[in-house]
Structure 1
Amino acid sequence: MTIEDRLEELGITLPEASAPAANYVPAVVLGGLLHISGQIAQAEDGTLIRGRLGEDMDVAAGKEAARRCAVALIAQMKAALGDLERVERLVKLNIFVNSTPAFTDQPEVGNGASDLLVAVFGEKGRHARSAVGVATLPRGVAVEIDALVAIT
């Protein structure tokens, strides 16, 4: 089964890869690695998923925001590589969660992205990661995730 088949089976339609919001590129291919800039949480209709975990969002909403970041990461992979079959392995995710100082469930929020990437890529989707709380994120979004991907 191809990655495209898995996406279809999971009911996931990839959005257009987002253009950068400032002076950077969305992805860089170098030495067999694809470095993907941070992808912010956007709903299927393109609206930003804003909020702060521990204040006006719960873990379930945060997981969905992280899942949507993972969908955006896959869209960037496809835009950069042309073919998702070139993904050899997801190496590392950095997950940033807009959260209050008392909120400590960043790993559970990050599972929204990790679980989706494993569902789509199988064993190649298992990755190292960091999940950290931050005081704020661009545009007030709940989650931002960047990625390092090994490619063929």
Structure 2
Amino acid sequence: MAMAISDQLNALGIQIPPVPAALAAYIPSKRSGNLIFTSGQLPLVAGKLRKTGKVGGGITLDEAKQEARQCLLNGLSTLLLHIDSLDQIKSIVKLGVYVASTENFTEQHLVANGASELVAEIFGEKGKHARFAIGVTSLPLNACVELEMTVEVE
């Protein structure tokens, strides 16, 4: 039997943060049948961004990957508005990653790997997902990364 997700999170030294407050007229996530769609999650920690700016400018690839990981954790927190436990996740279906980057930065896919690699560490086989990673000129609050996810649950 696979390890419980809570045990896996503990083994990785990861805590799921509280659900970040919505910054505009939307809800953090919405369930439709067995799918949950998250709103775009910024890398907020205790309601604040640790880094602002563009990847390829003041933010390095490694820093942006860490921010993508935080976006993912924030996204997971919003799932718990609809399910009792992350063990109810059957599949991480898709991640969408937006990267605020300079015109010459072309490694958005590597920024997104920060989130994709964390999903694999937490969920194993259930974490295999489709994904897009695109560069944008700006994101809310001058964040460098925003992530949305679609998840199938029991």
TM-score of the two chains, using structure 1 as the length reference: 0.95
Secondary structure of the 1:121 match is helix
The one-character-per-residue Cα deviations of 1:11-50 (angstroms, maximum 9, x if unpaired) are 011111112111111111102100111100124x543031
* Structure 1 unpaired stretches of 5+: none
> In the alignment, which residue of structure 1 is the partner of 2:146?
144
CA-CA distance at 1:148 after TM superposition: 0.5
CA distance in 2, matches of 1:138, 1:69: 13
How many positions carry a matched residue from both structures?
Answer: 151
> In the alignment, which residue of structure 1 is the partner of 2:57?
55
CA distance in 2, matches of 1:46, 1:13: 16
CA distance in 2, matches of 1:18, 1:42: 7
The one-character-per-residue Cα deviations of 1:72-122 (angstroms, maximum 9, x if unpaired) are 111112232121111010001110001011100000000000000110011
> In the alignment, which residue of structure 2 is the partner of 1:10?
12
CA distance in 1, matches of 2:16, 2:47: 12
Secondary structure of the 1:120 match is helix
2:20–2:44 Cα contact (<8 Å) kept: no
2:20–2:47 Cα contact (<8 Å) kept: no
Identical-residue share of aligned pairs (%): 38
CA-CA distance at 1:58 after TM superposition: 1.1
> In the alignment, which residue of structure 2 is the partner of 1:66?
68
* Structure 2 unpaired stretches of 5+: none
Choose which of 9, 27, 30 in structure 2 pairs with 1:28. Answer: 30
CA distance in 2, matches of 1:8, 1:77: 18
Secondary structure of the 1:96 match is strand
CA RMSD of aligned residues (A): 1.1
